[in-house]
């Protein structure tokens, strides 16, 4: 595995693969890697000739008062996991490498960035879209891999890729969970044992709603309310909504096509998100793998 820290090093490291016509897979991360990230890396390893993983805690996607300074970091563990999985290149830039003096450009993501998480984290998706677009330009991957847990982020990035004609396909890997159902997240490290138990209400509520949907319930409000009833004890329920996974727009009528139930809560000062996909045809997993704005990635 080659570890690179600068943009020139990265370009040199990947030139051989490009010149040889080999496919490049890319997994952008903020580090503190866990089994959810490993699932993304394994998908990339299975589909591409070489895999690049980036570890970069992006400062522009954190707002005032958010957890940038205390965001969990363990670079040695990250390196060992990537080495064990067979990653070809690990890119670990410093903030000044990505945002040099005088950097002023950013990407506006439009109305989708103001919905759901965007209502509570103003500017967050602008920061995400800007750094991921930069990373796409630097790595120039054929495929990039993201997790379903960050569904809104993934939908926004797919829109950015389509709108800007970026030559990369985004694949979404189903959420990886602990044995008890809690979605894996680097921020789970913040949870006290008591809050960890309470957090199980998120997946419990989502799974119950998923079962009700499979049994025939199609009213989005009824399904969302069922999830809310399982969130007792949360410090704050920021949202719990049934949405169109392409646009993040709230659903008002019966669910007749793939939808997503999305949740964000605050528990013990830690913000947690999760979702389940609901497909009337029973093919939610296949749907998320191929989720794309109408017209594809032109």
Residues tagged active-site: 37
2-37 b/e (C-beta count within 10 Å ≥ 16 → b): ebbeebebbeebbeebeeeeeebbbbbbbbbbbebb
Instruction: Give the Cβ contact number of residue 195 at 10 Å.
Output: 18
CA angle 166–2–61, rounded 5-degree value? 45
Contact assessment for residue 59 and residue 17, using Cβ atoms and an 8 Å cutoff: no
How far is the C-alpha of 67 from the C-alpha of 59, rounded, in Å? 10
CA angle 124–128–130, rounded 5-degree value? 115
CA-to-CA dists, residue 30 to 33, 61, 70, 132, 143, angstroms: 8, 11, 13, 11, 18
């Amino acid at each position: 595995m080659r570890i690179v820290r600068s943009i020139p090093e990265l370009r040199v490291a990947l030139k051989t693969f490009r010149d040889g016509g080999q496919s490049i897979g890319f997994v952008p991360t903020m580090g503190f890697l866990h089994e959810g990230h490993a699932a993304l890396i394994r998908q990339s390893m299975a589909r591409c000739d070489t895999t690049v993983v980036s570890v970069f805690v992006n400062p522009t996607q954190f707002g005032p008062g958010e957890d940038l300074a205390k965001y969990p970091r363990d670079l040695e563990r990250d390196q060992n996991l990537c080495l064990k999985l067979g990653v070809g290149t690990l890119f670990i830039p410093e903030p000044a490498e990505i945002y040099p003096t005088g950097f002023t450009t950013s990407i506006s993501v439009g109305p989708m960035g103001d919905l759901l998480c965007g209502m509570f984290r103003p500017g967050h998706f602008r920061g995400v879209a800007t750094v991921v677009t930069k990373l796409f330009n630097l790595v120039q991957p054929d495929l990039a891999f993201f997790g379903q847990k960050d569904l809104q982020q993934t939908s926004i990035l797919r829109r950015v890729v389509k709108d800007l004609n970026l030559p990369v396909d985004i694949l979404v890997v189903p959420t990886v969970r602990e044995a008890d159902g809690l979605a894996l997240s680097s921020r789970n490290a913040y949870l006290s044992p008591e809050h960890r138990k309470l957090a199980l209400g998120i997946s419990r509520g989502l799974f119950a709603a998923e079962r009700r949907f499979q049994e025939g319930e199609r009213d989005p409000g009824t399904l969302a309310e069922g999830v809310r009833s399982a969130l007792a004890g949360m410090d704050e329920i920021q949202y719990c909504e049934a949405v169109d996974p392409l646009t993040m727009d709230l659903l008002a009528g019966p669910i007749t096509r793939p939808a997503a139930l999305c949740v964000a809560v605050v528990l013990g000062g830690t913000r947690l998100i999760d979702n389940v996909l609901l497909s009337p045809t029973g093919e939610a997993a296949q749907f998320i793998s191929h989720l794309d704005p109408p017209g594809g990635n032109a």
